[in-house]
Amino acid sequence: MGQAVAALLSKGQLCLWGRQRPAQLPAELQHLPWCDSVAEACSSAEVVVVTVPISAMREVVREFGLVARGDQVVLFVARGVEPGFVLPHTIFRQETCVRKIGVLGGPLQAFAPQPGQPTAVVVGSHYTDPALIVRALSEEAATLVYPTRDLTGVEVAAAIGNVTSMAVGMAQALELGDTVRGLLLTRGLAEAARLGRELGAVSQTFASLAGLGALIPHPAQSLDRHILLGQALAQAVPALKSVDPGAANPDLDGPVSAAEAVQLSLQRHFTLPLVEAVDRVVRGQMGAAQALADVMHRGLDFGEEFSRHTTVDVGLRELERWV
């Protein structure tokens, strides 16, 4: 992921830092200087791009906080949340003085861009500088940059998007077909929007590039890691003991996002059936087939529009009595 972003921002003067220095960098990045510490990499930088997964973010951001300045712009790509449903941008706010924080969302996160093909990225930030910088540092024609102020919405869409991918993976392993895949994607988006609204996000973000737009490009046979995780979960026999969501692979944020989303929904009295289903499967409380069946075969839900009585209706009923 980090390498993809570095390729995206190729016009800038980059220097790299990583938790582990890779043995071999891709060709286009080999000429870049390597820094030995976060402080060295960030102290004179105008733009800091953080591409570590959410589980490692706080430690890295804390080190960055030692040298951070108010005029720096920060970009990050991490999906998922910390326990307590702490969104990634909050980590920056809690650990540093930096304000111009931007999340890179949309299809860019789904998979690395193919060389030569245009890419699209959503930049979610309360400030205009992050989007301007992404625009300035990427190849003009090839990158479509869409700014939005709904930073929270982009993060929630990304977090729940991975949970949805897990559900899709399960459905694929169970060979439930394309209709079910569509149903799950739709449900996933709706639940992401429900959760996002609770946190102050805008509903439209979930129907936009950051939400829907990130799910559409997935080919049916995708190598996305969360889809693969879902497939693996569906094929495994449910364990009799409960499993800690964060234990599996710390680079996969889906399980933690699901667990934390369920906690939040319980606290605030609303339901997220699909997210709950995924969470139960992860914890080994239920098999994938049963969990998905529960989500799909819910009772008839006559929405609000069925309970409204308009004055016209009442009037007609009155008329009927007299006629």
Partner 1 sequence: MRREDQERILTAVHDHVVQEVSQLGTELGAVRVGQPMDEVLAASVYHQRQRQKDRSSRTTGRTFAAPGSFGFAGDARRNNQIFWDHIQQRLGRANSIEQRSLLSQVIYRYAYDVCGNFDERVYSLARQALPPLLAALLNASSPKRLLTRLPDLAPLENAVLLQGEREHVRRLHEIGTVILAPTHGSNLDSVILAFAILQMGLPPFIYGAARDLFDNPLIGFFLHNLGAYTVDRRNEDPLYKRVLKEYATLTLEYGYNNLFFPGGARSRSGALERHLKLGLAGTAIRAYVHNLQRQAPRPKLFVVPATLSYQLVLEAETLIDDFLQDVGKSRYIITDDEFSRPRRVYDFITQLFALDSKIYVTLGRGLDPFGNPVDDHGESMDPHGRRIDCSAYVRKDGAFACEPQRDAEYTHDLAHSMSATFSRDNVIQATHLTARAIFTLLRRQQPQADMLRLIRVGAPQDEGLPLRAVYSETRQLLQRVRTLCRQGLVRQSASVAGLGAEDLISEGLHHFNTYHRAPAAQRRGDRIVARDRGLLFFYQNRLEGYGLEDLHHLSPTLSPDHRFLRSP
Task: Tell me which residues touch partner 1 (CB under 8 A).
Answer: 65-66, 68-72, 93-97, 99-100, 126-129
Largest CA distance in the chain: 88
Task: Please name which of 164, 180, 187, 176 lies closest in space to residue 278, comparing C-alpha atoms.
Answer: 164
Q: How would you list the strands of the sheet with 100-105, edge to edge? A: 47-50, 73-76, 100-105, 119-125, 143-148
Instruction: Give the shortest CB-18-to-partner 1 separation in angstroms.
Output: 24
Residue 72 or 208: the one with the smaller Cβ distance to partner 1 is 72
For partner 1, the closer CB: 95 or 253:
95
Q: Which value, to the nearest 10 degrees, does the dihedral of the CA atoms of residues 223, 228, 231, 233 take?
A: 180
Q: Which is nearer to partner 1, 241 or 269 (CB)?
A: 269
Minimum Å gap between C-beta 190 and partner 1 is 22
Mutual angle of helices 273-282 and 254-267, in 10-degree steps: 130
Contact of 102 with 146, CB cutoff 8 Å:
no
Distance in Å, CB of 106 to partner 1, minimum: 22
Minimum distance between the CB of residue 43 and partner 1, rounded to whole angstroms? 13
- Return the structure tokens found at 164: 């949805």
For residue 93, the minimal CB distance to partner 1 (Å) is 7
Of 133 and 252, which has the nearer Cβ to partner 1? Answer: 133
**Closest-CA residue to 128 (of 107, 153, 102, 166):** 102
Minimum CB–partner distance for residue 133 and partner 1 (Å): 12
Token pair 């026999």 in the structure block, residue: 237
C-alpha to C-alpha distance for 240 and 321, rounded to whole angstroms: 63
Nearest to 256 by CA among 286, 230, 282: 282
- Other residues' Cβ atoms within 10 Å of the Cβ of residue 317: 10
Q: Which is nearer to partner 1, 58 or 181 (CB)?
A: 58
Cβ distance to partner 1 smaller for residue 72 or 119: 72
